[in-house]
Amino acid sequence: MDLSSLPTPCALVDEARVAHNIERMAAQMRRLGVALRPHVKTAKSLPVAERQRAAGARGITVSTLKEAEQFFAAGFDDILYAVGIVPGKLAQVRALRERGCKLKVIVDSLPAAQAVAAAGHPFEVLIEIDTDDHRAGVKPEEARLLDIGRALHEGGAVLAGVMTHAGASYELHDPEALAAMAEQERARCVRAAERLRAAGLPCPIVSVGSTPTALSARRLDGVTEVRAGVYVFHDLVMLNVGVCNADEIALSVLATVIGHQDEKGWVLTDAGWMAMSRDRGTQAQPVDYGYGAVCDEAGRLIDGLVMSGANQEHGIVGWRDGHVDATLAQRFPLGTRLRILPNHACATAAQFPHYEVIGRDGALTRWERFGGW
């Protein structure tokens, strides 16, 4: 493996780790007996989604209509747009559907359901369920769940099911608590489906998921599919949550040492927040890695060394415990290359137009990705 041809900063992906992460999640889904509909918002990259499909994934989840457009153009036709739909976006959804894309949308309110049902096209719609009091969704016991279901089913829409995302799982770091959150996500979403069915409404799809709950679930009775995204790359937040090991983190940023401030124990690099993103997701977790954990160029973690600060194109590297080590300048002289593991792979990946991929044989290839809306 020779990374010397790569300009810095750049986003490095370890193909063997991606393959391992995909197979690990696929095996977990086989064990649980459910389909996997991976969320492609993490990598936004066709070669990644193709590997997920090859490992058995059925359909994909997207966070923007641009992702739907891009992946449909590349042959993915079973797509769930997992952000609440608004009337102003229905024309684009309809155009995609009329071109053959089985694009499904979600709603969590009566006004949204009524707008979709009245839009003159049999949109496939899932009702978003709030199973963890975290963000959006209808609580499973709320009366309006049935009102929304009826507005869709008795209006002009196709009530395709229910979906939920237990984002609160990111705040946990205990295996038992994670398993309990996975069970809560499952039970409450299934409960919503049962209420709809008891009211005579259809509910074929029961879709749940997040990387932490997907990897922590012990049973998923009543669930038809799981959505998860960040598991393809994993990151330091997932390491803190406890659902991956450091050697499963497949994304890093290659950086070059550009200077030192010896009296502060600082090594300065050319990977600032523009490269890492401003995500400080480990700040409130058991281990705060600053803007990232530091590895040598070969990817070996240097225990205790972190990216403690960032400006736009400057990163500051030092010991996590803050002690001043003037020998860092000798250890990592000007021009030394380091790899920084990200707090949040979705945010860091989004800073780059493509990935420099280290193949299983050590050869470098490139995977394109896209951004924007």
Confirm or reject binding of residue 372 to its own copies (CB under 8 A): yes
Q: Which one of 148, 260, 293, 318 is in contact with its own copies (CB under 8 A)?
A: 260
Confirm or reject binding of residue 10 to its own copies (CB under 8 A): yes
**Which of 312, 327 has the CB closer to its own copies?**
312
Confirm or reject binding of residue 312 to its own copies (CB under 8 A): yes
Confirm or reject binding of residue 184 to its own copies (CB under 8 A): no
Binding part of the chain for its own copies, among 68-76, 118-126, 219-227, 277-285 by CB under 8 A, reads 277-285
**Which of 5, 98 has the CB closer to its own copies?**
5
Q: Which one of 79, 80, 85, 172 is in contact with its own copies (CB under 8 A)?
A: 85
Give the nearest distance from C-beta 279 to its own copies in angstroms.
4
**Which of 49, 220 has the CB closer to its own copies?**
49
Q: Which one of 175, 333, 365, 366 is in contact with its own copies (CB under 8 A)?
A: 333
**Which of 319, 370 has the CB closer to its own copies?**
370
Binding part of the chain for its own copies, among 12-20, 150-158, 250-258, 292-300 by CB under 8 A, reads 250-258
Are β-strands 251-261 and 124-129 bridged in parallel, bridged antiparallel, or unpaired? unpaired
Q: Which of 12, 208, 45, 229 is nearest to 126 (CA)?
A: 208
**Which of 56, 84 has the CB closer to its own copies?**
84
Binding part of the chain for its own copies, among 24-32, 88-96, 196-204, 240-248 by CB under 8 A, reads 88-96
Confirm or reject binding of residue 324 to its own copies (CB under 8 A): no
For 187, residues 6+ apart whose C-beta sits below 8 A from its C-beta are none
Confirm or reject binding of residue 109 to its own copies (CB under 8 A): yes
For the chain, the farthest-separated pair of C-alpha atoms sits apart, in whole angstroms, at: 72
Residues touching its own copies, count (CB under 8 A):
57
Q: Which one of 75, 122, 259, 359 is in contact with its own copies (CB under 8 A)?
A: 259
Binding part of the chain for its own copies, among 19-27, 97-105, 106-114, 215-223 by CB under 8 A, reads 106-114
Confirm or reject binding of residue 172 to its own copies (CB under 8 A): no
Beta bridge partners of 257: 269
Q: Site residues for its own copies, window 187-246 (CB under 8 A)?
A: none
Q: Which one of 69, 132, 270, 356 is in contact with its own copies (CB under 8 A)?
A: 270
- SS3 of the chain: the string is CCCCCCCCCEEEEEHHHHHHHHHHHHHHHHHHCCEECCECCCCCCHHHHHHHHHCCCCCEEECCHHHHHHHHHCCCCEEEECCCCCHHHHHHHHHHHHCCCEEEEEECCHHHHHHHHCCCCCCEEEEEECCCCCCCCECCCCCHHHHHHHHHHCCCCEEEEEEECCHHHHHCCCHHHHHHHHHHHHHHHHHHHHHHHHCCCCCCEEEECCHHHHHHCCCCCCCCEECCCHHHCCCHHHHHHCCCCHHHCCEEEEEEEEEEEHHHCEEEECCCHHHHCCCCCCCCCCCCCECCEEEECCCCEEEEEEEEEECCCCEEEEECCCCCCCCHHHHCCCCCEEEEECCCHHHHHCCCCEEEEECCCCCEEEEECCCCC
Q: Which residues in this chain contact its own copies in the complex, by CB under 8 A?
A: 7-10, 41, 63-64, 83-89, 92, 108-109, 111-112, 115, 130, 135-136, 167, 256-261, 268, 270, 273-275, 277-280, 311-314, 316, 333-335, 344, 346-347, 350-353, 371-373
